[in-house]
Amino acid sequence: MTAVGGTGPWPGSEPLEAQTTVLGDVAAAPSGVDGLPWTVRLPERGPFGSLAAQALGLLVELPAELGPHGWRLADRPGADATRLAALRREDLDALAVAAHGWDGPLVVPVAGPLTLAASVYLARGDRAVADPGAVAELAESLSAGVAEHLDAIRRAVPGARPTVLLHEPLLAQVVAGVLPSFSGYARLRSVAAPVASERIGTVVAGVRAGGAERVVLHVGAGAAAVGAARGAGADAVGLEVAGLDERRWESVAEAVEGGLALWASVPQPETSQCAGPDVRGVADAVLRGWERVGLSRAGLRDVVLLAPAGPTVPGGPTGARVDPAAARATLATVARAAAVVAERAES
């Protein structure tokens, strides 16, 4: 059945309030649409609420700390590693309360190993992705850490059936070798596509063995990296569908026909004072490309629409914030768009 979910971030700084809102709103999805609640990430925590920080808090025997230029791997655990662990426990406690009695799917978003390696620095050196040994070690550590995290989630919410959403928005840049070095005067050597798939596959296999019902590889706007999802053994591929041209939709079609489901991150809905939110425009971001490349309407039953966090406004520790009411309105609009997609699947 066509479904609606999210990618992780949610406004606010109180995990219990955020998690309760997401579970309640997703559970109220329209008839004919499955709601896929997710474990929230709070960007308003500043550097401790980033995608990289969340994943660093899961690593096994690889402590991290905040340096002058962002997160880096550390020789030993310190105050920053202690805080990451404390925030993880706080989030699990909030999930246990908010999802009490929940029996159903639960999406667990986490940074993938290549994006994580591209986002953090070695204790003494450049980005971790520049060191093949460090990338392999990060993948192994992340695999074990996410598996442990899933076990903790099942203890907190015994009825949860976890799906891991691996975020790899930097994968295409890592493979293309276009990421700047620390100095900014050079480019980091590319990671070969087969090696990247192997590292991601390490995490996919580990979290599946750890109890994940499904694993989704989200490549962000990097449609060129869609093939990596198949190579890594993922069950579905996620990507931002706004602006995909026919050539990129062809790569989506190839993945879908190869057995992968599509998790489509849709654009922020446009809203007018007269007509309200443009539900049809959100649905068409998926439907037009899907039908243009000749994919079957019946296949739309397996599509998941992922809502953006909501429109940002200036302010907050990260320079921008999202109003919780606006985030809820965005999620409701995307849920209605998912109902339009579901109707097309049955037509």
pLDDT tens string 198-225: 999 999 999 999 999 999 999 999 888 8
pLDDT at 231 over 60: yes
Give the Cα-Cα-Cα angle 133, 89, 238 (nearest 5 degrees).
55
Whether residue 307 contacts residue 331, with contact meaning beta carbons closer than 8 Å, is answered with yes
pLDDT at 316 over 60: no
34 or 243, which is more confident? Answer: 34
First to last CA, the chain: 14
Secondary structure of residue 214 in the 3-state scheme = strand
Amino acid at 188: L
What is the phi/psi pair of residue 34, to 5°? -80, 135
Whether residue 139 contacts residue 203, with contact meaning beta carbons closer than 8 Å, is answered with yes
What is the reported pLDDT for 223?
Answer: 83
CA of residue 280 relative to chain centroid, distance? 24
Q: Give 250's Cβ-side CA count (13 Å radius).
A: 3
- Name residues whose C-beta falls within 8 Å of residue 25's C-beta, 6 or more positions apart in sequence: 328, 331, 332
* Share in percent of the chain as helix, strand, coil (round to 5): 50, 20, 30
Mean pLDDT of 61-77: 95
Helix or strand (DSSP H, E) at 164: strand 159-167
Separation between Cα atoms, residue 154 and residue 79, nearest integer Å: 28
CB atoms within 10 A of CB 316: 15
Whether residue 64 contacts residue 74, with contact meaning beta carbons closer than 8 Å, is answered with yes
Secondary structure of residue 113 in the 3-state scheme = helix
- Name residues whose C-beta falls within 8 Å of residue 330's C-beta, 6 or more positions apart in sequence: 268, 269, 307, 308, 309, 310, 311
Amino acid at 341: V
Report the mean per-residue pLDDT for the chain: 94
Separation between Cα atoms, residue 338 and residue 15, nearest integer Å: 26
Whether residue 118 contacts residue 172, with contact meaning beta carbons closer than 8 Å, is answered with no
Percentage above 90 pLDDT, the chain? 88
Mean pLDDT of 47-61: 98
Separation between Cα atoms, residue 77 and residue 73, nearest integer Å: 10
Mean pLDDT of 92-107: 97
What is the phi/psi pair of residue 117, to 5°? -65, -30
Separation between Cα atoms, residue 277 and residue 329, nearest integer Å: 9
CB atoms within 10 A of CB 325: 10
Whether residue 94 contacts residue 19, with contact meaning beta carbons closer than 8 Å, is answered with yes
Query: What is the per-residue pLDDT across 248-299, written as a single tens digit (0 to 9) for each?
Result: 999 999 999 999 999 999 999 998 777 689 999 999 999 999 999 999 999 9
pLDDT at 317 over 60: no
Separation between Cα atoms, residue 126 and residue 180, nearest integer Å: 10
Q: Give 151's Cβ-side CA count (13 Å radius).
A: 11
Whether residue 139 contacts residue 147, with contact meaning beta carbons closer than 8 Å, is answered with no
What is the phi/psi pair of residue 221, to 5°? -90, 0
Separation between Cα atoms, residue 161 and residue 55, nearest integer Å: 20
